[in-house]
Amino acid sequence: MRTAVKGARTMETFTCTKCLQVLSISEQAKWRPTRCRPCIYKAQKEWRYNNPEQMAKAVARTKRQHLRIRQEALAIYSGDPPRCACCGETELTFLALDHIEGGGTAEFLRLGVAGSSFYAFLRNNGWPPGIQVLCHNCNQAKGSHGKCPHVLSNPN
């Protein structure tokens, strides 16, 4: 282990400019390379506590962005207006994306994405095939029983 100077980095260690601890590079915050993760997290928590109005605006902005990309994904995979491919449900809050051949959970784990980050992944990859829109009821039934009751009762 090499001796580190305040704010300086070596191959193995660095010194946090906030708490002055010499730490392993693995404990370094990538987005702020002069501080350790605990110091960054503490500063972020304090900022959120001291700036509730700005936090509320940021949360609202994030929700709007999530809703916009979700609606875009639903429209791409089912048409406009979005609808369940099985029962025809059109209420947006009831709709979800489904992997046609199954394996959604495994893909989420492999990619490390879910929710709005999955929608962004799909958009950034040119809306790949193999996805359909189902309502949550049909999606759950398909996952539990292999097929939705709508498909089982109407074989056409």
Query: Is the pTM value of this prediction over 0.85?
Result: no
Question: What is the extent of the structural domain holding 27?
Answer: 13-48
Domain co-membership, 24 together with 71: no
Domain co-membership, 65 together with 104: yes
β-pair type (22-24, 13-15): antiparallel
In this prediction, residue 2 has a pLDDT band, given cuts at 50, 70 and 90, of very low
The answer as to whether 8 is a domain residue is no
In this prediction, residue 14 has a pLDDT band, given cuts at 50, 70 and 90, of confident
In this prediction, residue 47 has a pLDDT band, given cuts at 50, 70 and 90, of very high
pLDDT in tens, 115-151: 778 888 899 999 999 999 999 999 998 888 888 777 7
